[in-house]
Amino acid sequence: MFKFLKGVVAGSGTGVKDLPYNIGEPYSSAWGSWVHSQGTSKDDGSPVSIFSLSGSAQDGHIAAGRNGVKRLRTVRHPNILSFLHSTEVEMFDGSNTKITIYIVTEPVTPLSEKIKELGLDGKQRDEYYAWGLHQIGKAVSFLNNDCKLIHANVCLGSVVVTQTLDWKLHAFDVLSEFDGNKEGSTGSMLQYAWLVGTQYKPMELVKSDWVAIRNSPPWAIDSWGMGCLIYEIFSGTRLSKTEELRNTSSIPKLLLPDYQRLLSSMPSKRLNTSKLIENSEYFQNKLVDTIHFMEVLSLKDSVEKDTFFRKLPTLSDQLPRQIVLKKILPLLASALEFGSAGALALTALMKMSSWLPPEEFSIKVLPTIVKLFSSNDRAIRVGLLQHIEQYGESLSAQIVDEQVYPYVATGFSDTSAFLRELTLKSILVLAPKLSQRTMSGSLLKYLSKLQVDEEPAIRTNTTILLGNIANYLNEGTRKRVLINAFTVRALRDTFPPARGAGIMALCATSSYYDISEIATRILPNVVVLTIDPDSDVRTKSFQAVDQFLKIVKQYNEKGDTGDLSMANIGTNGNSSLLGWAMSNLTLKGKTSEQAPLASGGSSAPLAATSSDANSVVDAVATSAIMSPLRTSSSADLVDHPVPASPTSTDGWEETENGLDEHDSDKDGWNDFESLDEPKPSPVLANIQAAQKRPVAQSKPALSQPKPAASGMHSKSAVRKNKDDDELWGEIAAPPPKATSKSLNLGASTTNDDDLWGAIAAPPPMTKAKPLSLGRGRGAKPAAPKLGAQRINRTSSGV
């Protein structure tokens, strides 16, 4: 029973073998007879600190050590060392018994060693010391004022520093209750006061004047200790005798009056530590205020938070770098992760994290960033995408594919054009880490829709993105997507920079096309742009024609030698990434507008051009950058129509003005169109297609006799369907199974150009009955009515 009670009081373990920690190298300094060593957990390898004290069973140090273990385990405060585990080990050496006490705590470093390691000086040193003394002052105030306890051992040796550079109080061997209110108490209040050095004791404790101590306030002894601590940290030396405390040359002027009050010779007049940290001007500096604000961030309102986080990026440059990285940055990451900080805090987080080594960044910041991608706050998503180049390389392929991309992809369909553009640009960083399944099964579907986005800047940058990520697509996907996306959509866009981007994307990906594709699909679509209304588009088209003709000529020359392999034909494409074309969507997420371009023969020159067809291209017209973009309709994007293609095999004859969503079934992106919507039945698909198709009005100048027009139309349709099959091949949409039947109703009632003919109801075969034939007596003729009238028809014969 005695051993059981002893174990409960003295420790939480039974022996060193049961200690679930590994003991490492000791530090050079520790308080009293304790040995402070580094350690690690046997379970997960996490770092800890292990304090050990050895002595005989009759040694007073062991009794004091047991008191310290009990006090440390029961007293909890943010500025008091955190207790994790303890145990006692007995070793028998003949007739002598040696006892060793082990205390396991959070990982800490002695204050004296940490000060040397940081090497701070000047204003930054004073600010850090102020923060540390502020923390120790709160711990001492908690013991004295709230718990009515006396530490009696506050000095440099009893302070340790955590990994986040917080100062914490420990060495509770002498800790005891203050019994000044007990009448008749005359004995010693501090049983283990003999452990404290004489230089750290106030005069009443040196004289063991317990009557005077009991008549003094509870903070009198520890206030003296705070004065000793202040002297030691600013002088940089250990206190060897009490007289040294009179040397105030190293004490800051703002702290000197409070320092003198702490060391008053009259115990009743010594300054309470709670008053010290509340009223002293020394503790009112940028570092203390910043950390204090971060610690109580959840209590602040939104206005205070916004003001604080706007200033924090600039303020962080003025604070000690180590404190920013080890103290403020973890607080900031935690605040963002748990929602107490808004999107403005992301800017400060990214700036501070840029000062970290890559290894520490992956451990301290990256997990928070990954979690933030699941946030529903649009402003946070914007901030993450704006800084993705800073941390994108640190993300692993698995994290990108499984945890980041699913949330990023939601931005493709966001109502904010600015967020859609940021999402699009972020893919350039994430694409190398996406799996082929994600690329072809999800990403290309979104890009297909963005190529017909209402924002011309987004359409342009989508084309540029496809050119830049082409090397990450497999060969089959490149064959199926690139030419169709660049020629059928980009080269026919009503926005000149989008057409220029399509040309440059073809040039940058020229090595992915075989000779037949170049001759039959690329050159015919590029040559027509040599007469484009926009001068820059014409320039780029001539460069592209020269590049692709050079490839064809090389193929011809190789043909004379019998070596027709494209691998042996030099292509200088893919030499560099294409530059983003547009970037003038407003930061507030409002859709931008485009000013009308000049109606002259060419638009303003591009912001950046190159004579080399493979150089990095900026396809933004200067006029488009300097003025907002209009998104009301595709007809307003440009004043000049795009030249028609000389070939009829591209399926674009019916498109009169730019790209519309209903044209997507002709551009080779059929496999990537449907995202989550179920495919309708063939009949319903035909109806929906007809509903979306604009009604074309025939022009009198081009009208032909009806019988001839009917025959020509049927022949043209057959030829067109045949050419479409040759162009799209396996990716073309299957023709509708049901075709409209000829009604043979005569030229007066039939219009072969009627786009609704396939689904229109047949004309009525009966005549309306006269209204005068109504039943009933004395039927009066109906009064004439203005406007349209509904005529009831019957299915019976006339």
Q: What is the pLDDT of residues 100-145, one digit of tens each?
A: 999 999 999 999 999 999 988 888 899 999 999 999 999 999 999 9
pLDDT value of residue 565: 53
Q: Which of 3-12, 121-130, 554-563 has the lowest mean pLDDT?
A: 3-12
pLDDT value of residue 116: 92
pLDDT value of residue 639: 39
Average pLDDT rounded to a whole number, residues 454-459: 94
Confidence of residue 762 (pLDDT cuts 50, 70, 90): low
DSSP class of residue 400 equals I
Mean pLDDT of the chain: 76
Confidence of residue 593 (pLDDT cuts 50, 70, 90): very low
Residues with Cβ within 8 Å of residue 273, at least 6 apart in sequence: 137, 140, 141, 144, 219, 222, 223, 226
SS3 757: coil
More confident residue, 749 or 225: 225
pLDDT value of residue 719: 43
More confident residue, 357 or 660: 357
pLDDT value of residue 399: 94
pTM metric for this prediction: 0.67
Q: What angle do CA 450, 440, 453 make, to 5 degrees?
A: 5
Token output for 484: 């169709």
Give the percent of the chain with pLDDT over 90: 53
Count other Cβ atoms within 10 Å, centred on residue 220. Answer: 25
Q: Which of 55-69, 164-178, 695-709 has the lowest mean pLDDT?
A: 695-709
689-700 CB burial, b ≥16 within 10 A, e <16: bbeeeeeeeeee
More confident residue, 179 or 484: 484
What phi and psi, each to the nearest 5 degrees, are found at residue 619?
-95, 25
Confidence of residue 606 (pLDDT cuts 50, 70, 90): very low
Q: DSSP for 423-471?
A: HHHHHHHHGGGS-HHHIIIIIHHHHHHHTT-S-HHHHHHHHHHHHHSGG
More confident residue, 718 or 552: 552
Confidence of residue 179 (pLDDT cuts 50, 70, 90): confident
- What does the pLDDT look like over 560-574, one tens digit per residue? 665 555 555 555 544
More confident residue, 255 or 646: 255
Confidence of residue 7 (pLDDT cuts 50, 70, 90): very low
The CA distance from 438 to 427, in Å, is 12
CB 32 within 8 A of CB 76: no
Confidence of residue 669 (pLDDT cuts 50, 70, 90): low
SS3 110: strand
Confidence of residue 583 (pLDDT cuts 50, 70, 90): low
Whether 640 shows a pLDDT value over 60: the answer reads no
Give the percent of the chain with pLDDT over 70: 67
pLDDT value of residue 581: 64
Whether 580 shows a pLDDT value over 80: the answer reads no
- What does the pLDDT look like over 256-274, one tens digit per residue? 999 999 999 999 999 999 9
Confidence of residue 83 (pLDDT cuts 50, 70, 90): very high
